[in-house]
Structure 1
Amino acid sequence: MDKITEQEISKNKQDVINSKQKTADSKKAWLIPFTCLLAGGLLLGVSTNLAKYAGEIGLTPLAFLFWSITGAAIILLIVALLRHEKPPLSARSLEYYSIAALVSVAGSNLIFFSAIPQVGAGFVALIIALPPLLTYLGALALHIERFNMLRAFGVAAALAGAGVLAARKFAAPDASVLWILIALCGPVLLAIGNIYRTLRWPDNASPSALAPGMLIAAAIILGMVSLLPNFSLSVPLGEVMPFGLITVQAFIFAGQFLLLFLLQKTGGPVLLSLLGAVGAVVGVPVAVFLQGEAPPEGLILGASLIALGVVLVTWGGMRMATVPKEQA
């Protein structure tokens, strides 16, 4: 009897040690998506402000977006080849590149970049924080995400923060309602893209292999748009600044979309959707202090709610990772 008791005690001790180790590993694992979220949001916030500056030096939204995306595609393709991770070329992956490129890159960014001269870089940075609710509801409906009270409250907080700022923008006397409505279509495309990329992720494909494929497809789509009347890919010749800005944006896009795929793989679509929330916290101050835009009304309340949302969604994800599925 004593022998059996000793064995049971030893087994229980080992189970406790294993449980603590799994909990520690899960918490460490969440450092990767959280880091990707912060870094990707930082690049996104900077990107929206560069798009405004591009218009001031004579670059059209389409030209700036096309050449920057093309440059980023080349950078990421080189990185993938050096890592011996060629983008897959199956029928499934080609479908993935095309649809993901349309909703996540070409369509949404063309809307945002075109709207920036009309509504300001600060406002566009703010509305990119709107996709979390749509993404979360879609993920719940499709059983990609399990319901978690902390995450739900975090998503609601981030959405409320962006909503406060957007409502104040609508109330401004010089507001362009048409361009505000057009700009608001961008977050819808981003939310669709967040869900689609999760559901249709090609089997055994790495983030660094998929990112260049999506950007190449996006460059092709934007090139086709340039064939329409009143659209051009021309860049002012004889000036260094436009080419320099395109180069900087290309590297930012390369980092941004590589982090996006890493975050998609490690954190899921809901945490991914908060990239825009972090981008808003970064992009609005840059627009105010460096671009000379007027601070949006309600900025402190809105940014505080967005920051709270990011913390709660991340914390909720960590708790879900450490609690057995049947107890979540």
Structure 2
Amino acid sequence: MTKFTERNSSPCRSVWLVPLMCLLVGGALLGISTNVAKYAGEIGLSPLAFLFWSIAGAATILLVIALLRHELPPLNKRSFEYYFISALVSVAGSNLLFFSAIPHVGAGFVALIISLPPLLTYLGALALGMERFQTVRALGVAAALAGAGVLAARKFSAPDASVFWILIALCGPVLLAIGNLYRTLRWPEGASPNALAPGMLIAAVVLLGATSLLPDFSLTVPLGGFLPLGLITLQAFIFAGQFQLLFLLQKTGGPVLLSLLGSVGAIVGVPVAVFLQGESPPDGLILGASLIALGVALVTWGGMKMMTLSKQKLEVPDKT
């Protein structure tokens, strides 16, 4: 092995290892959060109140981390636009739809449909010139979408299906896909993931607070015991880790790999809903989950190959 190869083998591995770890851990947190949201509804927390206070806690945690790292969120016109649009499509709007639908369609189903954004994100990235077509990644996206499609079709065909809430839940992945593309295209120049994550969450708190001014919306939390506040605190830490990893994955892996967070979340969230929450396993679970897992593997592998080749092209050995 040459000195050049030895020197660069580790950096090449790190090119794909960091985004892969962000994908797996961030996706796991996403799957867990849907189940925590279901339990919150069962103890009397409204979707808006639970989401507002959890996001407020997560924003505080990430802002403290940013202060300690001396990476404060940038404050200018461009960054404010970025925070509020990202917050609307990626946090406030999508999560409010998901959390509102969970009592009607189940945490398992919501965890599964969060795996739908890859196709929309991939097609959008191709159309906007953000991604080059690659057969392996295209097959991976198609497999993940097919798996989620199998599960969604079975849900629609169930005799007790609530079509309205199923459609509401399905709007969430559309917002997530838009957010994946927007955050990459409009990433403020020179800003770090540690700085942007708290800025987006603070904007989400403002948007959710404004929503509470509408009729029949409230931020009231039941104070009859420790459980509601404990659950909000738990979700705040889950959100803090999830959104910190989301921005890091966005920067290192790109929008298509980022969109697979939902697929990983489905693999984690559905078993939790079935075994810990007592939900019935979704029809077609084995086939759907297998296709989703295959899709994650193919897109990740394709991304690893692309990033490694790009790294090698940039690091040409000195022949002198």
CA displacement at 1:323 relative to structure 2:
2.9
User: Which of 130, 146, 170 is equivalent to 1:184?
Assistant: 170
Q: How does 1:113-132 map to 2 (within 5 A)?
A: 113-132=99-118
Asked if 1:171 corresponds to 2:154, the answer is no
- For 2:6 and 2:78, how far apart are their aligned partners in 1? 40
Q: What's the Cα RMSD here?
A: 1.6
Q: Are residue 50 (structure 1) and residue 36 (structure 2) matched? A: yes
Q: 1:324, CA displacement in angstroms?
A: 5.3
Q: Indicate conservation of the 8 Å contact 2:197/2:243, yes or no.
A: yes
- SS of 1:50's partner is helix
**Counterpart Cα distance in 1 of 2:127 and 2:11:** 29
Moved segments of 4+, more than 2 Å? 16-28, 322-325
Question: 2:119 matched to which residue of 1?
Answer: 133
Cα distance in 2 for partners of 1:285, 1:176 equals 22
Q: Identity of aligned pairs, percent?
A: 77
**Corresponding position: 1:32 with 2:32:** no
1:320 counterpart = 2:306: yes
Report deviation, 1:29: 1.6
Aligned to 1:8: none
Q: In the alignment, which of 74, 89, 92 is matched to residue 88 of structure 1?
A: 74
Cα distance in structure 2, aligned partners of 1:219 and 1:118: 25
**Are 1:44 and 1:279, in contact at CA under 8 Å, matched by a contact in 2?**
yes
| Equivalent in the alignment of 1:229 | 215
| Aligned-partner SS, 1:323 | helix
Counterpart contact for 1:26–1:318, Cα < 8 Å: no
> Within 2, Cα distance between the matches of 1:322 and 1:252?
31
Map of 1:105-120 to 2, 5 A cutoff? 105-120=91-106
**Matched residue, 1:304:** 290
Describe the superposition over 1:12-34 as per-residue Cα deviations: whole angstroms up to 9, x where unpaired: x9xx7546754652232210000
- Distance in 2 (CA, whole Å) between partners of 1:21 and 1:159 is 39
The superposition leaves residues 162-219 of structure 1 with CA deviations (integer Å, 9 ceiling, x where unpaired) of 1111110001000000110111000000000000000000011000100000000000
Moved more, 266-275 or 145-154: 145-154
Give the length in aligned residue pairs: 313
- State the secondary structure of the residue aligned to 1:279: helix
Counterpart of 1:277 in structure 2 is 263
Contact 1:42–1:282, Cα closer than 8 Å, also in 2: yes
Shift in alpha-carbon separation, 1:97–1:158, aligned structure 2, 3 A: same
Partner of 1:67: 53
SS of 2:74's equivalent in the other structure is coil
* Residue pair 1:260, 1:272 contacting (<8 A) in 2 also: yes
Please tell me whether the aligned partners of residues 15 and 307 of structure 2 are also in contact (alpha carbons under 8 angstroms). no
> Given that residues 23 and 322 in structure 1 are in contact (C-alpha distance below 8 angstroms), is that contact kept between their aligned partners in structure 2?
no
Question: Conserved in 2, the CA contact under 8 Å of 1:191 and 1:273?
Answer: yes
Q: Identify which of 211, 220, 223 aligns with 2:197.
A: 211
Cα distance in structure 1, aligned partners of 2:308 and 2:219: 50
Q: CA shift at 1:237, angstroms?
A: 1.6
Instruction: Give, in whole Å, the separation in 1 of the partners of 2:200 and 2:11.
Output: 32
What code does the residue aligned with 1:218 have?
A
Structure 2 gap ranges (5+): 314-320
Q: Deviations over 1:270-297 (max 9, x none)?
A: 0000000000000000000010100001
The SS at the match of 2:227 is helix
Task: State which structure, 1 or 2, has the greater radius of gyration over its C-alpha atoms.
Answer: 1
Distance 1:262 1:95 in 2: 20
